[in-house]
Amino acid sequence: MPSISSKGKRMPASPIRKLVPFAEAAKKKGRKVYHLNIGQPDIPTPQVALDAIRTIDLKVIEYSHSAGFESYRRKLAAYYQQHGLDINHEEIIITTGGSEALLFAFNSCLDPGDEVIIPEPFYANYNSFAISAGVIVKPITSRIETNFGLPGMEEFEKLITPKTKGIVICNPNNPTGYLYSKEEMLQLGEIAKKHDLFIFSDEVYREFCYDGEKHFSALELKGLEEHVILTDSVSKRYSECGVRIGALVSKNKEFMATAMKFAQARLSPPTFGQIAGEASLETPKSYFDEVYNEYIERRNYTVEALNAIPGVFTPKPKGAFYTVVRLPVDDAEKFCQWLLEDFEYQNQTVMMAPANGFYATPGLGQDEVRIAYVLKIEELKKAMEVLRVALEQYPGRR
């Protein structure tokens, strides 16, 4: 029998999705499963986007330009300008989700065997993108005890070798919810300048910054215009995960010309998704105000409820809608599977993402999970009660 590729064998299963069969089995038993495992907001998609889709009057659904509709790119450039970023439409390529943006970035900037440094825990699919591009991930560990703040410059420099070509940052961070400060971003800029590295900055959660904190974009780093590659997405900003529209943004002309060749190879991004994404730029401020207040309430409740459970600890995130939680269990992955296979409380259970899948260093995150507080408060309250009871009953409790 022909063998599959070594690359395919190395490709990890998603820690966010690999327990899905167990959740489906629990539902077939009639159990209510509270999904805290995935960043799928229940916030309604903006009405302007839904209306744009409903009123489409196309006779032919054609390819768009490989960079995306020019009208969309011009409006998106105006959006960045409103956030103080000097971007024009020629410095944007519309992609099939933020995932494709990062894949294009890796393939355009890095050769097989090149290395990128990523603060861990990190979005698990970064591993998958790196394997797809033949890139080696060098993790630098941030820790729950320090609220997942960025390690010092000296820790980065210990990892830099002649093969190091870039640093990947997610700000605000998935899975921790940590918001990198201006000072931390300036520190990254100094490292990139000193060692001539790319900064791949994933900024899809830009709008979700709390407690009066401000987002500082990598594109604001002075003198690093040729180094910064920004990836973006409409998925979380407008609660449009299914439209699969993202963006690749850079002032580096050679990079953009190279990325365009990858964009041409996949022909064009989705037409309907671009229509929704372009219309979403007309979303009123009141929508974001309401979403902001909703997530603040959910975050505050979730963090307080978690830390009230004996043996549980989580920091208070400053951004996104995730938090990494330390649990008093022998193995978080076993616990998450047990919740779905063997446990129920009033015919309910909880699904979470084991955090070991967000670390590249073996052995880390064994007693941690990622929780996405994307459910309504009423459901979060029930989920936290279920989790409290489950921890009391779990045979592997520490």
- Spatial separation of the C-alpha atoms in residues 240 and 227, rounded to whole Å: 29
The tokens describing 355, both together, are: 């955090």
> Is 49 inside a domain boundary?
no
- Spatial separation of the C-alpha atoms in residues 244 and 274, rounded to whole Å: 9
Residue carrying the six token digits 């084991």: 354
Pair (344, 207) in one structural domain: no
pLDDT at 16 over 80: no
The tokens describing 236, both together, are: 């979380």
- Spatial separation of the C-alpha atoms in residues 147 and 178, rounded to whole Å: 7
Among 223, 245, 280, give the residue marking a domain's end.
280
What local confidence, expressed as pLDDT, does residue 155 receive? 94
Pair (128, 268) in one structural domain: yes
Pair (146, 217) in one structural domain: yes
How many folded domains does the chain comprise? 2
Pair (38, 91) in one structural domain: no
Pair (90, 185) in one structural domain: yes
What local confidence, expressed as pLDDT, does residue 48 receive? 98
Pair (265, 307) in one structural domain: no
Question: From residue 132, how far is each of 42, 137, 281, 314, 339 by CA, in Å?
Answer: 31, 12, 32, 33, 32
Among 260, 280, 300, give the residue marking a domain's end.
280
b/e sequence 94-115, b meaning 16+ C-beta within 10 Å: bbbbbbbbbbbbbbbbbeeebb
What local confidence, expressed as pLDDT, does residue 40 receive? 86
pLDDT at 41 over 90: no
- Written as one letter, the residue type at 294 is E
* 84 bridge partner residues: none
Residue carrying the six token digits 């041409």: 264
DSSP state of 60: S
What local confidence, expressed as pLDDT, does residue 12 receive? 85
CATH of the domain at 169: 3.40.640.10
- Spatial separation of the C-alpha atoms in residues 172 and 185, rounded to whole Å: 12
Pair (173, 239) in one structural domain: yes
> Is 214 inside a domain boundary?
yes
What local confidence, expressed as pLDDT, does residue 302 receive? 98
What local confidence, expressed as pLDDT, does residue 377 receive? 96
Pair (113, 74) in one structural domain: yes
pLDDT tens digits, one per residue of 151-197: 999 999 999 999 999 999 999 999 999 999 999 999 999 999 999 99
User: How much of the chain exceeds pLDDT 90, in percent?
Assistant: 95
What local confidence, expressed as pLDDT, does residue 15 receive? 72
What local confidence, expressed as pLDDT, does residue 13 receive? 79
Domain of residue 363: give its range.
6-44+286-393
Pair (340, 367) in one structural domain: yes
pLDDT at 337 over 80: yes
Pair (122, 140) in one structural domain: yes
Residue carrying the six token digits 């969309």: 72
Rounded mean pLDDT, 125-143 = 96
